[in-house]
Structure formats: structure tokens, C-alpha cells
A = this chain, B = another copy of it.
Amino acid sequence: MFGLSDVLASFAINGTVSVVLITLFSIFKNQPLNVRVYFSKWQLKGERVGPINYMPAVCPKGIRRYLNLDAKSYTHVMDWIKECLKMSEAELIDHGGLDAAVFLRLISLGLKIFIPLTVFGFIVLVPLNATDNQLAIESATKSNFTYDSLDRLTFSNISVASDRLWAHIVAAYLYTAWVLWLLFKEYRSVVALRFSFLASQTARQDQFTILCRCIPEDPKESIAAHVDHFFRFNHPDHYLMSQVVYDANKLDKMVKRRSKLQDRVMHIQGSIEKNLTKSRPRIKTGFWGLWGEEVDQLDYYNDEIAKLSDEIIAERTRILSDERSVMPAAFVSFDSRWGAAVCAQTVQNRDSSVWLTEWAPEPRDVYWANLPLLYNTLNSRKLAMGTLLLVLMIFFFFPISLVQAMANLAYLERNAPFLTPIVEREALKSLLQGYLSGQILKASLMVLPHVLMIMTKYEGHVSYSRIEKSATAKYFVFMVVNVFLGNVLVGTIFEQLKTFTEDPDRCFGVQIINCNEPKYESAAAYWPYMFGYIIVALLIKHITLMGLMGLKEAKSSTPFLLPLPICTILFYFYCKNRFEHAFSCYALEEAMAKDTIERASNPNLDVRSFLEHAYIHPSLRSVVVGNDVEAIPMMAQMRF
């Protein structure tokens, strides 16, 4: 159990660490060499040159390059906190994107939820709990019952079937109403922000393009021609062109290997130029450079690159000329957002297993390996991964507890007697028993997100952003189910698990990792998921309260608590109906308005050339768009 001293100690440690980290960050940020790290965006905009401005001119240039010697500037090191807090939301979105801004809103939502509730709790609930005497009675009647001064402030100190429980029921209503009201306002604001963010964006290729999967085979014509004929016939007014997807996995590997060799060559050339090596480095040509003829490294790598380049050209030619390397998927582009919106949001064919259309992800967000999957494959993979997730959820902690039991010394000594002299040493004993078993669990939990990520990739999503959203959702379900399981199957392992999962840092870490990657901007597409998670948390709170009331022999209060989860679920569906389409649909009026504004403001925009090379596999693009001119006539066959 947690005592008051534990809370104070934890508060002191965390407070000190925070102050030290913030101070260190402020000082490092102030050093000339770190300007590029901390002010890259500002620098790109030319708005701020960084702390190098503060340097006194008398300083030697060498030192000035590495150290900020201006004492005056250190008096302002903490100003960034003030600046951050002063920054308007519009500026924030402008600098960090909408994803980052909504993430900060999420944190401030947490503060808005918890600060008033904490105040309310201390003023109303804590005095009510503290002035009751359940714990005193229990410790008087049960011999092995102990409690801490902090426990007296909690719900446990209320007498069985006391009228004071009503205060907690009323508080649950206030709490729920307050959270739902804030969530509603927040959802409305995020939707408005998303709309204005999307409206302010310049033309993007994915606004004009849809992804068509599961293209059926036609014995009479190639896939490229089939796609073209299909969309030319069914979307005659707005269809522009289509780009089929090639199986470029082999090429991809070759291109990556070449670029690795090119990096190595550059590194060696740099070393030679700076005279860092006495003689030109040499290499053995055999397996892993361990044997065989010894040759000049630079020459060897250059030869390899030349050979690989020839192979790449041959492979690219093969891909572009071999009909078998064309996959049953294509990116189809339209001359307007309206045309793309229509095609992405309607059913194309009476058979729902072919010609599946959806919005194309942004080009850098495409997960190429999943594009060629067909309907039945997609379904079976989803089913397989769903089953695996279920199995994993149920059995995840059994092997771990086995490992823990093995790390248990008594078990080790019994089964491996020769280890006894080693594990009996005092230092090793405490290390194994106190530390290692906890670390094994922690490590398993750290592996989990990666396992879920691999599983989600296999499911067949077409973009990194969706893979990450889906993996996060799985992780959330996993944690909720296991915390519940943990409460049912009481045991050390679950106690430990609880402390890890209740650690907010950890949860936020996973959010950040999965949702806040800067490699694409989702325009807060993760918000509906966050909303759902908060609703689930609220429902868990309601169920827990009902359970606690049951423990206090106040089961008759259940009818009074039942409206809470019901209203919460109704609220969820209301918000879903009201707002979620802002994240899943693109209204035709929006599309038309944007098209019209663009036609007026940018009458010369050539949509065709704007889209021409957007959706080509990265390995083919580097060849087509770069200076490998031979490729271009080959690519022409993809346009019509």
C-alpha cells in the first residue's frame, strides 16, 4: 500500500528531475551548435538566427562556434516557456502542423478535466471520507489489518451502506457531465480546426487521386488498359489518368544496396581527402571480406556500383515491360477534387470484391507492399490477425509468468543445483529477485507494440498512417482487457503490470510514438480514436464505481448509477454521427468550393503534370524523375 511518505517522496523526486531536465534543455538550446536542432523550422523561415546573435565580438571565433559566452543571454534561458505559452493556436498549427496542435490540446483537455475535479474532490469528497471511521473499525476487528493516514482520505474509509456514498454517486454524475461537456466542445473545435486546416492547404496530389484495389483480370487486355477503359467509361467527365502499381520489391532492394555502397564510397573519399588514412584502404573480395584476392576498396566499390546500376536498369526495364510485374492495383487521378471525391466514396461495381476504391494516401505515406492484395487474401489476413490478437490477449501473460517463475531463485536452485553457489551470493540474489523479474515483464511489454505493429502491417492496410492508428487501437484494447484480467486474476504479475500501465508517461510515450511521427500530416485523423479511448476510460470508471458500491453493500444504488454508462454510450454515438464524418468523408460541397477557388486563383495549374509522377514506387521514381532518361519513354505507357 501507498503511504503519505511515499507520495511525498515521489513528488520530490519527480519535481527535482523535472527542474534539472528543463534547466539543462534551456542551456543546451542556447548553444550555437544546437541552433540547427532546436530552431530548424524558424531558420528555414529566416525569422530567427538563433543565440549566436548574443556573442560578444571579442570572443575567439573557435570558441564562439561551440560555446555561448554571453552571460546576459543566460538570464533569458527560461523565456521559451513563456513564449510557448503565449503562442497562439494558429501559430502553433503553422509551425508544428495540426497533429501536433491537437496533441497539445489533448494534454490541455486533460488539465481542464482533472484540475476542477481535483479541487472538487479535496473540498467535498476528502472531508467526507476523512471524517468517517470504517478503517478504524476494521483495524480494531481484524488483527492483520493496517492502514496509512492517506487511506483515511479515500473511499475505503466510508462506512458500509453509509448515506455518505450518495455524495460519491452525485460526484460521479458531476464528473461525467463535466467530461462529456468538455469532450463535446473539444470534438467540435477539432472538427472546425480540421476543416480550416484542410481548406488552407495548397493543392495536394492525394486530393485528386484515388486508390483502386482488387482489379479483376481481363483476358482480352492488360491491367493498365482495363483500368483506363473502366474509369473512362464510368467517370467520363472527370477521369484524367491512371498509374498501375508495379511489383518493385526486388528493384527496391537493389536501389537500397546501391545507395549504401555510394555512401561508403563518399565516406572513403572523404577520409582520403582529409589524409586521415595513411594508404588507400584495401578489401578482400571473398565472403564478408574475410578471404579472397585483396583489391583497392574504392575501385572495388565503384565497380560494384557500376555493375549494380546496369542490373538496376535491366530490372527496371524488365518491370516496366513485363506484364506479370503489373499488380492488380492502380492510382487513378481526376481533373478535379470533386471527381475524385465521387469515385472514392461510391461503389463502382455490383461485385463488392473487385474495383474497390478509396482515397489515395499521400505519396510518402503509401505502404507499397500491401497494395496488390486481393479481396479474399485481405479477409483471411484480417481474420487470422484478429484470431491471433485474441489468443495473444488471453495468453500473453502466461509465458511471462513462466519466465518469472524461472527467474525465481527457489525454482532455479531446485532445477539447476549447480547454480546454487552463484545465485546464493547476496548481491546477485537481490538483483535476480528484486530487479530481473520486473525487467522481464517490462521487456515483454516493450516488445508488445512492435509485435502489434508487425501484425497490423500484415493485415493489409495501404498506408503507414492507418497501420499506426490500427496498431495503437490494438494496444489500447490489449491494455484494457489485460488490466481487467489483472483485476480478476489477482497476482504479483498483474500488480506489477498495473503500475506500468497506470504510469501516464508510458501511455503518452506510445501515443506520441504512433501518432506524432513527423513523416506525414494526418490533419488530426487520430482524434476520433482518442475520443473513443476517453469514453472507454469513463465507462471503466462507471463499472468500477458500481463494483465499489457493491463492496460497500450498497448494491441498491446500481439503478442510480446505470444511467451514467447509458448516457455515455448515447453521447458517444451522438458525437460519432454528428462529427466523425469530418474524418472519414469529403463533402462534395467542400470539394467543389475548393476546385472553384483554385480555378479562379490559379487558372494555369496543369493537373496532369502535377500528378504525373506522384504515385510511382519510390525505387522507380528515382529513375524516372531523375536523370535516367531512358526510363521516360517506358513510363509513357502508363498515361493515356
Binding site for B on A (CB under 8 A): 195, 230, 233-235, 237, 341-343, 345-350, 352-353, 355, 379, 383, 570, 574, 577-579, 581-582, 585-590, 592
Tell me which residues across on chain B come within 8 A of A590, comparing CB atoms.
350
> What residues of chain B lie closer than 8 Å to A346, measured between beta carbons?
341-342, 345-346, 585, 587-588
* A/B interface sample: 13 pairs, CB < 8 A: A230-B589, A234-B588, A234-B589, A341-B346, A342-B342, A343-B588, A346-B346, A348-B588, A348-B589, A349-B587, A350-B589, A352-B579, A352-B582
Given contacts A345-B345, A348-B588, A353-B578, 13 further A-B contacts (CB under 8 A): A233-B589, A235-B588, A342-B342, A343-B588, A346-B585, A346-B587, A346-B588, A350-B582, A350-B587, A350-B589, A352-B582, A379-B574, A379-B577
For residue A589, which residues in chain B have a CB less than 8 angstroms away from its CB? 230, 233-234, 348-350, 355
A398 to B95, CA, bound (A): 65
A578 proximity list for chain B (CB < 8 A):
352-353
Chain B neighbourhood of A234, CB < 8 A: 588-589, 592
Identify the 10 closest CB pairs spanning chains A and B, nearest first: A347-B585, A352-B581, A347-B587, A350-B587, A345-B346, A234-B592, A342-B342, A349-B589, A349-B587, A234-B588
In the complex, A587 Cα to B351 Cα: how many Å?
9
Bound together, the chains give a CA A379 to CA B571 distance in angstroms of 12
A422 to chain B, nearest CB (A): 44
Give the residues in chain B near A353, CB-CB below 8 Å.
578
Contact of A587 among B235, B348, B582, B592 (CB under 8 A): B348
Residues of chain B lying within 8 A (CB to CB) of residue A237: 237
- With both chains docked as a complex, state the minimum distance between the C-beta of A610 and any C-beta of chain B, in angstroms: 23
User: How far apart are A246's CB and chain B's nearest CB, in angstroms?
Assistant: 26
Known: A234-B588, A588-B234, A592-B234. A570 touches B349 (CB 8 A): no
Question: Given B379, B587, B592, which contacts A233 in the complex, CB threshold below 8 Å?
Answer: B592
Q: Is the CB of A347 within 8 A of B581?
A: yes
> How near does chain B come to A391, taking the closest CB pair, in angstroms?
13
Rounded to whole Å, the gap between the CB of A286 and the closest CB of chain B is 54
For residue A582, which residues in chain B have a CB less than 8 angstroms away from its CB? 350, 352
A342 to chain B: which residues have CB within 8 Å? 342, 346
Q: Would you give the shortest CB distance from A376 to chain B, in whole angstroms?
A: 10
In the complex formed, the residue of B with least CB distance to A238 is B237
**CA distance in complex: A587, B379 (Å):** 21
- Point out the residue from B383, B585, B587 that lies within 8 Å of A570, measured CB to CB: B383
- Residues on B with C-beta less than 8 A from A379 are 574, 577
A352 to B581, CA, bound (A): 7
Give complex CA distance A349, B342 in Å.
13
Q: Which residues on the B side are within 8 Å of A348 (C-beta)?
A: 587-589
Q: Complex: how many Å from CA A575 to CA B188?
A: 36
Chain B residue, CB-CB nearest to A195: B350
CA distance A588 to B237 in the complex (A): 13
Given known contacts A342-B346, A345-B346, A352 and B577 CB-to-CB distance under 8 angstroms: yes
Residues of B within 8 A of A588 (CB): 234-235, 343, 346-348
- Looking across the interface, which residue of chain B has its beta carbon closest to that of A230? B589
Closest Cβ of chain B to A122, distance in Å, is: 37
Q: Which residues of chain B come closer than 8 Å to A355, judged between CB atoms? A: 589
Across-interface contacts of A577 in B (CB, < 8 A): 352, 379
A585 to B574, CA, bound (A): 24
Cα–Cα distance between A347 and B579 once the two chains are bound (Å): 13
A26 CB to closest chain B CB, in angstroms?
43
- A529 → chain B closest CB, angstroms: 19
Shortest CB–CB separation between residue A192 and chain B, in angstroms? Answer: 10
CA distance A383 to B585 in the complex (A): 25
A240 CB to nearest chain B CB (Å): 16
A567 to B: closest C-beta gap in Å = 11
Bound-state CA distance A195–B352 (Å) is 13
In the assembly, what is the distance between CA of A233 and CA of B570, in Å?
36
Smallest CB–CB gap between A330 and chain B, Å?
Answer: 16
In the bound complex, what is the Cα–Cα distance between A347 and B383 (angstroms)?
30
Question: Looking across the interface, which residue of chain B has its beta carbon closest to that of A355?
Answer: B589
Which of A352, A570, A574, A585 is most buried by chain B, counting CB atoms within 10 A of its CB? Answer: A352
Least CB distance from A622 to B in Å reads 36
A350: B residues at CB distance < 8 A: 195, 582, 587, 589-590
CA distance A388 to B590 in the complex (A): 39
Query: Residue of B at shortest CB range from A194?
Result: B350
A233 closest partner in B (C-beta): B592
Distance in angstroms between the alpha carbons of A422 and B577 in the assembled complex: 61
Give the Cβ gap from A431 to chain B, nearest Cβ, in Å.
42
Cα A586 to Cα B234 with chains together (Å): 13
Find the B residue at minimum CB distance from A237.
B237
**Chain B positions within 8 Å of A587 at CB level:** 346-350
In chain B, what residue has the closest Cβ to A350? B587
Chain B residues with Cβ below 8 Å from A343 are: 588
- In the complex, A234→B342 CA distance in Å? 11
- Alpha-carbon gap, A586 to B589, bound state (A): 21
Report the bound CA distance from A346 to B343 in whole Å. 10
Residue of B whose beta carbon sits closest to that of A383? B570
CB-CB < 8 A to A579: which residues of B?
A: 352
How far does the alpha carbon of A355 sit from the alpha carbon of B352 in the complex, in Å?
27
Complex Cα distance, B582 from A590, in Å, reads 29
* Distance of A578 from chain B, by nearest CB (Å): 6
Tell me the nearest residue of chain B to A235, going by C-beta.
Answer: B588
Q: Which residue of B lies closest to A338 (CB)?
A: B234
Q: Bound complex: CA of A141 vs CA of B237, how far in Å?
A: 84
Residue of B nearest to A341 (CB): B346
